[in-house]
Amino acid sequence: MTKSWSYKKAGVDIRSIKSSHSEISKLLGSTLSLRNGRIGEVITGSGHYAGVIKLRNNDYLALHTDGVGTKVLIAQQYSKFDTVGIDCIAMNVNDLICVGAEPISLVDYIALKKNNPILVKEITKGLVKGSKLSDTPIIGGETAIMPDVIEGYGNKAFDLAASAIGIINKKTNMLNRKIKSGDIIIGLRSSGIHSNGATLARKVLLEKYSLRKKIYKSKRLGDVLLEPTVIYSKAVMDILNNIKSIHGLAHITGGAFTKLPRIGSVGFSIDLPDPPLIFDLIQRTGNISDKEMHRTFNMGYGFVIICPKSQHNNVVSILDEYKIKSDVIGEIFAGSGVKVNGKSVL
Protein backbone atom coordinates (compact mmCIF):
# COMPACT_ATOMS: atom_id res chain seq x y z
CA MET A 1 0.00 0.00 0.00
CA THR A 2 1.25 3.49 -0.89
CA LYS A 3 2.32 5.51 2.15
CA SER A 4 -0.13 8.27 3.01
CA TRP A 5 1.76 11.53 3.42
CA SER A 6 0.88 14.68 5.36
CA TYR A 7 2.72 17.90 6.12
CA LYS A 8 3.22 16.67 9.70
CA LYS A 9 4.76 13.40 8.50
CA ALA A 10 7.06 15.43 6.26
CA GLY A 11 8.31 17.27 9.36
CA VAL A 12 6.09 20.37 9.48
CA ASP A 13 3.50 20.27 12.28
CA ILE A 14 1.20 23.22 11.56
CA ARG A 15 -0.68 22.87 14.86
CA SER A 16 2.56 22.97 16.83
CA ILE A 17 3.80 25.93 14.80
CA LYS A 18 0.58 27.86 15.49
CA SER A 19 1.05 27.19 19.20
CA SER A 20 4.59 28.57 19.01
CA HIS A 21 3.34 31.61 17.11
CA SER A 22 0.79 32.22 19.84
CA GLU A 23 3.47 32.16 22.53
CA ILE A 24 5.72 34.46 20.51
CA SER A 25 2.85 36.91 19.96
CA LYS A 26 2.17 37.04 23.70
CA LEU A 27 5.79 37.93 24.40
CA LEU A 28 6.02 40.49 21.58
CA GLY A 29 2.74 42.03 22.67
CA SER A 30 4.51 43.61 25.64
CA THR A 31 6.47 45.84 23.22
CA LEU A 32 3.55 47.14 21.16
CA SER A 33 2.79 50.14 23.38
CA LEU A 34 6.34 51.51 23.38
CA ARG A 35 5.57 54.16 20.73
CA ASN A 36 2.06 55.09 21.85
CA GLY A 37 1.25 58.74 21.14
CA ARG A 38 4.28 59.18 18.88
CA ILE A 39 5.25 58.57 15.27
CA GLY A 40 5.61 54.82 15.00
CA GLU A 41 2.63 53.97 17.18
CA VAL A 42 1.64 50.37 16.47
CA ILE A 43 -1.68 49.91 14.66
CA THR A 44 -1.43 46.15 14.18
CA GLY A 45 1.26 43.71 15.26
CA SER A 46 1.76 40.04 14.48
CA GLY A 47 -1.19 38.00 13.30
CA HIS A 48 -1.92 39.87 10.09
CA TYR A 49 0.02 39.74 6.83
CA ALA A 50 2.17 42.71 7.87
CA GLY A 51 2.76 44.88 10.90
CA VAL A 52 1.52 48.46 10.61
CA ILE A 53 2.65 51.63 12.38
CA LYS A 54 1.24 55.16 12.20
CA LEU A 55 3.18 58.00 10.62
CA ARG A 56 1.31 61.31 10.27
CA ASN A 57 -2.29 62.13 9.40
CA ASN A 58 -3.75 59.14 7.50
CA ASP A 59 -0.41 57.69 6.43
CA TYR A 60 0.88 54.38 7.74
CA LEU A 61 3.97 52.24 7.28
CA ALA A 62 3.79 48.46 6.92
CA LEU A 63 6.67 46.05 7.51
CA HIS A 64 7.14 42.40 6.69
CA THR A 65 9.88 39.76 6.72
CA ASP A 66 9.80 36.48 4.82
CA GLY A 67 11.96 33.91 3.12
CA VAL A 68 11.73 31.18 0.49
CA GLY A 69 11.53 28.17 2.80
CA THR A 70 12.84 24.79 1.71
CA LYS A 71 12.46 25.75 -1.92
CA VAL A 72 16.14 26.70 -1.55
CA LEU A 73 16.93 22.98 -1.17
CA ILE A 74 15.32 22.25 -4.53
CA ALA A 75 17.45 25.01 -6.05
CA GLN A 76 20.56 23.46 -4.49
CA GLN A 77 19.76 19.93 -5.68
CA TYR A 78 18.88 21.16 -9.16
CA SER A 79 21.76 23.69 -9.34
CA LYS A 80 19.46 26.46 -10.50
CA PHE A 81 19.60 29.65 -8.43
CA ASP A 82 18.32 32.50 -10.59
CA THR A 83 14.62 32.23 -9.68
CA VAL A 84 14.46 31.94 -5.88
CA GLY A 85 15.23 35.66 -5.60
CA ILE A 86 11.95 36.37 -7.40
CA ASP A 87 10.20 34.15 -4.83
CA CYS A 88 11.81 36.10 -2.01
CA ILE A 89 10.55 39.43 -3.33
CA ALA A 90 7.11 37.98 -4.04
CA MET A 91 6.67 36.51 -0.57
CA ASN A 92 7.25 39.93 0.93
CA VAL A 93 5.40 42.27 -1.42
CA ASN A 94 2.41 39.96 -1.82
CA ASP A 95 1.96 40.00 1.96
CA LEU A 96 2.37 43.78 2.24
CA ILE A 97 -0.44 44.48 -0.20
CA CYS A 98 -2.90 42.49 1.92
CA VAL A 99 -3.03 45.44 4.33
CA GLY A 100 -3.15 47.92 1.44
CA ALA A 101 0.53 48.83 1.56
CA GLU A 102 2.38 49.81 -1.59
CA PRO A 103 5.86 48.21 -1.38
CA ILE A 104 8.54 50.90 -1.54
CA SER A 105 11.82 49.26 -0.54
CA LEU A 106 13.44 46.05 0.60
CA VAL A 107 16.65 44.66 2.11
CA ASP A 108 17.81 41.08 1.56
CA TYR A 109 19.72 38.54 3.64
CA ILE A 110 21.74 35.70 2.09
CA ALA A 111 23.34 33.19 4.45
CA LEU A 112 25.90 30.78 2.97
CA LYS A 113 27.76 27.71 4.16
CA LYS A 114 30.79 28.82 2.16
CA ASN A 115 31.60 31.91 0.13
CA ASN A 116 30.45 31.21 -3.42
CA PRO A 117 30.50 34.30 -5.69
CA ILE A 118 28.83 32.53 -8.62
CA LEU A 119 25.98 31.31 -6.41
CA VAL A 120 25.46 34.78 -4.91
CA LYS A 121 25.45 36.35 -8.37
CA GLU A 122 22.77 33.94 -9.61
CA ILE A 123 20.59 34.51 -6.52
CA THR A 124 20.99 38.27 -6.95
CA LYS A 125 19.82 38.05 -10.56
CA GLY A 126 16.49 36.75 -9.28
CA LEU A 127 16.30 39.42 -6.58
CA VAL A 128 16.85 42.12 -9.18
CA LYS A 129 14.22 40.67 -11.50
CA GLY A 130 11.70 40.48 -8.65
CA SER A 131 12.58 44.02 -7.64
CA LYS A 132 11.85 45.30 -11.14
CA LEU A 133 8.63 43.27 -11.48
CA SER A 134 7.30 44.81 -8.28
CA ASP A 135 8.81 48.31 -8.57
CA THR A 136 10.47 47.74 -5.20
CA PRO A 137 14.10 48.89 -4.98
CA ILE A 138 16.56 46.80 -2.96
CA ILE A 139 18.36 49.39 -0.85
CA GLY A 140 20.75 47.13 1.04
CA GLY A 141 21.24 43.75 2.61
CA GLU A 142 23.62 41.33 4.25
CA THR A 143 25.61 38.31 3.12
CA ALA A 144 26.71 36.05 5.96
CA ILE A 145 29.10 33.09 5.81
CA MET A 146 28.12 30.60 8.53
CA PRO A 147 29.59 27.13 7.90
CA ASP A 148 28.50 25.85 11.32
CA VAL A 149 24.89 26.99 10.92
CA ILE A 150 23.86 26.59 7.29
CA GLU A 151 23.16 23.06 6.12
CA GLY A 152 22.21 21.85 2.69
CA TYR A 153 24.00 20.48 -0.36
CA GLY A 154 27.74 21.04 0.00
CA ASN A 155 29.13 24.38 -1.12
CA LYS A 156 25.75 25.22 -2.64
CA ALA A 157 24.06 25.43 0.78
CA PHE A 158 22.36 28.77 1.47
CA ASP A 159 19.26 30.42 2.89
CA LEU A 160 17.50 33.51 1.62
CA ALA A 161 15.18 36.04 3.24
CA ALA A 162 14.25 39.70 3.04
CA SER A 163 12.45 42.50 4.87
CA ALA A 164 10.21 44.94 3.03
CA ILE A 165 8.36 48.14 3.87
CA GLY A 166 5.32 49.70 2.26
CA ILE A 167 3.19 52.79 2.68
CA ILE A 168 -0.56 52.90 3.25
CA ASN A 169 -2.72 55.89 2.45
CA LYS A 170 -6.37 56.58 3.20
CA LYS A 171 -7.42 55.30 -0.21
CA THR A 172 -5.69 51.92 -0.01
CA ASN A 173 -5.97 51.15 3.73
CA MET A 174 -7.44 47.65 4.15
CA LEU A 175 -7.35 47.45 7.95
CA ASN A 176 -10.90 48.61 8.66
CA ARG A 177 -12.73 47.05 5.70
CA LYS A 178 -15.61 44.70 6.40
CA ILE A 179 -16.15 41.52 4.42
CA LYS A 180 -19.87 41.01 3.84
CA SER A 181 -22.08 37.99 3.32
CA GLY A 182 -22.65 37.55 -0.41
CA ASP A 183 -19.25 38.96 -1.42
CA ILE A 184 -17.47 36.91 -4.04
CA ILE A 185 -13.99 35.43 -3.74
CA ILE A 186 -11.87 36.02 -6.84
CA GLY A 187 -8.88 33.70 -7.10
CA LEU A 188 -5.76 34.95 -8.89
CA ARG A 189 -4.05 32.02 -10.52
CA SER A 190 -0.68 30.82 -9.29
CA SER A 191 2.31 29.66 -11.31
CA GLY A 192 2.71 26.45 -9.31
CA ILE A 193 3.53 25.63 -5.71
CA HIS A 194 5.05 29.11 -5.17
CA SER A 195 7.09 29.07 -1.93
CA ASN A 196 4.95 26.96 0.36
CA GLY A 197 4.55 23.24 0.84
CA ALA A 198 7.98 22.55 -0.67
CA THR A 199 8.92 20.27 2.22
CA LEU A 200 5.97 17.98 1.57
CA ALA A 201 6.39 18.20 -2.21
CA ARG A 202 10.06 17.20 -1.92
CA LYS A 203 9.42 14.30 0.45
CA VAL A 204 6.69 12.92 -1.78
CA LEU A 205 8.05 13.47 -5.27
CA LEU A 206 11.78 12.95 -4.82
CA GLU A 207 11.26 9.45 -3.44
CA LYS A 208 9.99 8.50 -6.89
CA TYR A 209 11.26 11.05 -9.43
CA SER A 210 14.49 12.78 -10.30
CA LEU A 211 14.36 16.57 -10.55
CA ARG A 212 15.52 16.13 -14.14
CA LYS A 213 12.66 13.86 -15.09
CA LYS A 214 10.33 15.31 -17.70
CA ILE A 215 6.86 15.11 -16.17
CA TYR A 216 4.64 16.95 -18.66
CA LYS A 217 4.87 19.28 -21.66
CA SER A 218 8.59 18.43 -21.82
CA LYS A 219 9.14 20.29 -18.53
CA ARG A 220 11.52 18.81 -16.01
CA LEU A 221 10.26 18.38 -12.46
CA GLY A 222 12.95 20.73 -11.14
CA ASP A 223 11.83 23.53 -13.44
CA VAL A 224 8.19 23.03 -12.47
CA LEU A 225 8.95 23.12 -8.73
CA LEU A 226 11.21 26.16 -9.13
CA GLU A 227 8.69 28.15 -11.18
CA PRO A 228 8.83 31.49 -9.33
CA THR A 229 5.96 32.89 -7.28
CA VAL A 230 3.72 35.32 -9.14
CA ILE A 231 4.16 38.93 -8.01
CA TYR A 232 0.66 40.36 -7.65
CA SER A 233 1.56 43.68 -6.03
CA LYS A 234 1.32 46.11 -8.94
CA ALA A 235 -2.02 44.75 -10.16
CA VAL A 236 -3.57 44.70 -6.68
CA MET A 237 -2.40 48.23 -5.83
CA ASP A 238 -3.88 49.42 -9.13
CA ILE A 239 -7.17 47.78 -8.10
CA LEU A 240 -7.11 49.44 -4.66
CA ASN A 241 -6.41 52.85 -6.16
CA ASN A 242 -9.26 52.59 -8.66
CA ILE A 243 -11.98 50.47 -7.01
CA LYS A 244 -13.36 51.56 -3.64
CA SER A 245 -15.28 48.51 -2.51
CA ILE A 246 -12.56 45.89 -2.12
CA HIS A 247 -13.41 44.18 1.16
CA GLY A 248 -10.57 41.72 1.66
CA LEU A 249 -7.21 40.54 0.32
CA ALA A 250 -5.29 37.37 1.15
CA HIS A 251 -2.01 35.89 -0.02
CA ILE A 252 -2.40 32.09 -0.17
CA THR A 253 0.84 30.89 1.41
CA GLY A 254 1.72 28.64 4.36
CA GLY A 255 -1.44 27.08 5.74
CA ALA A 256 -3.13 27.76 2.39
CA PHE A 257 -6.85 28.50 2.81
CA THR A 258 -6.83 28.00 6.59
CA LYS A 259 -5.45 31.52 7.04
CA LEU A 260 -8.45 33.27 5.50
CA PRO A 261 -10.16 33.93 8.88
CA ARG A 262 -7.35 36.37 9.76
CA ILE A 263 -8.93 38.88 7.34
CA GLY A 264 -12.53 38.58 8.56
CA SER A 265 -14.82 36.83 11.03
CA VAL A 266 -17.08 35.42 8.34
CA GLY A 267 -17.58 32.15 6.52
CA PHE A 268 -15.52 31.39 3.41
CA SER A 269 -17.02 28.93 0.93
CA ILE A 270 -14.60 27.95 -1.84
CA ASP A 271 -15.20 25.67 -4.80
CA LEU A 272 -11.99 24.77 -6.59
CA PRO A 273 -11.76 23.31 -10.08
CA ASP A 274 -9.39 20.45 -10.85
CA PRO A 275 -5.95 21.70 -9.78
CA PRO A 276 -2.94 22.22 -12.05
CA LEU A 277 -1.06 19.01 -12.81
CA ILE A 278 1.75 19.54 -10.30
CA PHE A 279 -0.72 19.41 -7.39
CA ASP A 280 -2.43 16.34 -8.83
CA LEU A 281 0.99 14.66 -9.15
CA ILE A 282 1.87 15.49 -5.53
CA GLN A 283 -1.49 14.24 -4.24
CA ARG A 284 -1.49 10.97 -6.21
CA THR A 285 2.16 10.18 -5.51
CA GLY A 286 1.85 10.88 -1.79
CA ASN A 287 -1.66 9.50 -1.33
CA ILE A 288 -2.57 12.80 0.34
CA SER A 289 -6.12 13.64 1.42
CA ASP A 290 -8.03 16.56 -0.10
CA LYS A 291 -8.15 18.29 3.28
CA GLU A 292 -4.39 18.06 3.68
CA MET A 293 -3.83 19.45 0.18
CA HIS A 294 -6.16 22.39 0.86
CA ARG A 295 -4.38 23.09 4.15
CA THR A 296 -0.91 23.01 2.56
CA PHE A 297 -0.90 24.13 -1.09
CA ASN A 298 -2.42 27.03 -3.01
CA MET A 299 -4.01 24.52 -5.42
CA GLY A 300 -3.73 26.90 -8.36
CA TYR A 301 -4.63 30.22 -6.71
CA GLY A 302 -1.92 32.30 -5.07
CA PHE A 303 -4.01 35.29 -4.01
CA VAL A 304 -7.66 36.15 -3.43
CA ILE A 305 -9.65 39.36 -3.72
CA ILE A 306 -12.97 39.65 -1.91
CA CYS A 307 -15.48 42.17 -3.22
CA PRO A 308 -19.17 42.65 -4.10
CA LYS A 309 -20.40 40.81 -7.18
CA SER A 310 -21.00 44.19 -8.81
CA GLN A 311 -17.25 44.87 -8.88
CA HIS A 312 -16.23 41.60 -10.53
CA ASN A 313 -15.88 42.98 -14.05
CA ASN A 314 -13.95 46.03 -12.84
CA VAL A 315 -11.47 43.85 -10.93
CA VAL A 316 -10.99 41.44 -13.82
CA SER A 317 -10.48 44.30 -16.26
CA ILE A 318 -7.47 45.52 -14.28
CA LEU A 319 -6.10 42.00 -13.75
CA ASP A 320 -6.30 41.45 -17.50
CA GLU A 321 -4.10 44.51 -18.05
CA TYR A 322 -1.40 42.79 -16.00
CA LYS A 323 -2.01 39.44 -17.72
CA ILE A 324 -3.10 37.81 -14.46
CA LYS A 325 -5.74 35.15 -14.97
CA SER A 326 -8.51 34.82 -12.41
CA ASP A 327 -11.70 32.95 -11.57
CA VAL A 328 -14.55 33.38 -9.13
CA ILE A 329 -13.79 30.55 -6.72
CA GLY A 330 -16.22 31.17 -3.90
CA GLU A 331 -18.53 33.32 -1.83
CA ILE A 332 -18.77 34.69 1.69
CA PHE A 333 -21.54 33.31 3.88
CA ALA A 334 -22.93 34.36 7.26
CA GLY A 335 -21.18 32.29 9.87
CA SER A 336 -17.58 31.23 10.33
CA GLY A 337 -15.02 28.77 9.07
CA VAL A 338 -13.49 27.84 5.74
CA LYS A 339 -15.02 25.24 3.48
CA VAL A 340 -13.30 24.02 0.34
CA ASN A 341 -15.46 21.99 -2.01
CA GLY A 342 -18.04 21.66 0.77
CA LYS A 343 -15.70 20.37 3.50
CA SER A 344 -14.13 22.27 6.40
CA VAL A 345 -10.36 22.64 6.25
CA LEU A 346 -9.92 24.10 9.75
Asked if residue 4 belongs to a domain, the reply is no
**What is the pLDDT, as a whole number, of residue 279?**
96
* Residue finishing a domain among 168, 197, 218: 168
pTM of the entire structure?
A: 0.92
Residue 88: give the domain boundaries: 37-168
Answer yes or no: is 173 within a domain.
no
Q: What is the pLDDT of residues 137-152, one digit of tens each?
A: 999 999 999 999 999 9
Least confident range from 2-16, 22-36, 265-279, 328-342: namely 2-16
The pLDDT value recorded for residue 141 is 94
pLDDT digits 0-9 by tens, 295-313: 999 999 999 999 999 999 9
* 160 plus 219 within the same structural domain: no
Nearest CA to 228 out of 105, 101, 121, 129 is that of: 129
44 and 118 share a domain?
A: yes
Same domain, 94 and 200: no
Q: pLDDT tens for residues 60-114?
A: 999 999 999 999 999 999 999 999 999 999 999 999 999 999 999 999 999 999 9
Q: What integer is the mean pLDDT of 127-133?
A: 98
Please indicate, yes or no, whether residues 161 and 194 belong to a single structural domain of this protein: no
Is residue 201 in some structural domain?
A: yes
Q: Are 228 and 89 spatial neighbours (Cβ–Cβ below 8 Å)?
A: no
β-bridge partners, 137: none
When pLDDT is cut at 50, 70 and 90, the band that residue 14 belongs to is low
Q: Do 249 and 150 share a domain, yes or no?
A: no
Co-location of 210 and 322 in the same domain: yes
- The fraction of the chain above a pLDDT of 70, given in percent, is 94
Residue 26 lies in a domain: no
* Last residue within a domain, chosen from 102, 135, 168: 168
Q: Decide if 8 is inside a domain.
A: no
Q: Per residue in 181-196, pLDDT tens?
A: 999 999 999 999 999 9
Count of structural domains within the chain: 2
Beta strands 42-44; 138-145: pairing state? unpaired
**Residues 58, 190: one domain?**
no
In a domain, residue 11? The reply is: no
Same domain, 192 and 259: yes
For residue 245, the one-letter residue type is S
Same structural domain, 333 and 194: yes
Any idea which of 38-47, 142-151, 211-220 has the lowest mean pLDDT? Answer: 38-47
Residue 175 confidence (pLDDT): 87
- Per the model's pLDDT, the better-predicted residue between 26 and 116 turns out to be 116
Where does a domain end: 136, 168, 200? 168
- Using the predicted structure, report yes or no on whether residue 47 has a pLDDT greater than 80: no
Q: Residue 306: inside a domain, yes or no?
A: yes
220 and 330, same domain (yes or no): yes
- Please indicate, yes or no, whether residues 127 and 235 belong to a single structural domain of this protein: no
Q: What is the CATH number of the domain that holds 243?
A: 3.90.650.10
The pLDDT score that the predictor gives to residue 89 is: 98
